[in-house]
């Protein structure tokens, strides 16, 4: 399930969490997930709440992929600012840190360049431990310098469009702890 607003070149897209929740409710073993949620489209705490809720309601079957966002027409049409790749990658790195802390369900404070969270306790915590994060992607030549030092999980995946699997899209993954 992709997280896009525009039809071309992705085709018509349902709202990801609603569609994934529907699929999860109709199946018992199928893992449900995203390829990928754009960090720029929603605050990490909102994403954490939606993702943790789906993880709990699906019995721990969520695979949450995250990305920096890359489609300039999508940013233009929705009025979002398409920052440089390095800024988007740095923001994604902060978002991943916030998501991990929120999925734990313990109070936390985070102060970064792009996000600030004070004494926040997210509910529900994710069912999967340590978290349901499955992959992250950054559309850039040098974005790996800005991504978290420790990649977020196993299961590296590449975007289904062959042209997106070029050197301009790098997926980062490692085994879960």
What is the full DSSP assignment across 42-98? S-HHHHHHHHHHHHHHTTS-EEEEEE----HHHHHHHT-----HHHHHHHHHHHHHH
Global pTM reads: 0.75
pLDDT in tens, 17-66: 999 999 999 999 999 988 888 899 999 999 999 999 999 999 999 998 88
CATH architecture of structural domain 16-172 = Alpha-Beta Barrel (3.20)
User: Any idea what the Cα angle at residue 148 is, between residues 147 and 152, rounded to 5°?
Assistant: 110
pLDDT in tens, 64-116: 888 898 888 889 988 999 999 999 999 999 999 999 999 999 999 999 999 99
Banded pLDDT at 136 (limits 50, 70, 90): low
d(CA 167, CA 105): 37
Question: Long-range contacts: 45-48, Cβ < 8 Å, 24+?
Answer: 45/98, 45/102, 45/117, 45/120, 45/122, 47/95, 47/99, 48/98, 48/99, 48/102, 48/103, 48/122
Which of these ranges, 6-10, 13-17, 102-106, has the smallest mean pLDDT? 6-10
CB 50 within 8 A of CB 37: no
Query: Any bridge partners for residue 65, and if so which?
Result: 135
- Helix 85-104, helix 44-57: angle, nearest 10: 50
Q: What tokens does 109 get?
A: 């404070």
């Amino acid at each position: 399930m992709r997280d896009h607003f525009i039809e071309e070149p992705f085709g018509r897209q349902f709202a990801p969490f609603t569609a994934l929740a529907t699929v999860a409710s109709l199946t018992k073993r199928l893992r449900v997930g995203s390829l990928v949620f754009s960090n720029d489209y929603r605050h990490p705490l909102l994403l954490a709440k939606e993702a943790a809720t789906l993880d709990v309601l699906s019995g721990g079957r969520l695979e949450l992929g995250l990305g920096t966002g890359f489609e300039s027409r999508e940013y233009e049409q929705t009025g979002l600012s398409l920052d440089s790749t390095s800024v988007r990658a740095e923001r994604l790195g902060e978002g991943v840190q916030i998501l991990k802390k929120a999925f734990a369900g313990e109070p936390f404070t985070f102060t970064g360049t792009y996000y600030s969270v004070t004494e926040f306790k997210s509910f529900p915590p994710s069912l999967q431990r340590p978290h349901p994060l499955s992959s992250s992607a950054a559309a850039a030549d040098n974005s790996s310098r800005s991504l978290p030092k420790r990649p977020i999980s196993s299961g590296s995946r590449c975007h289904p469009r062959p042209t997106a699997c070029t050197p301009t899209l790098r997926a980062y993954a490692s085994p879960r702890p």
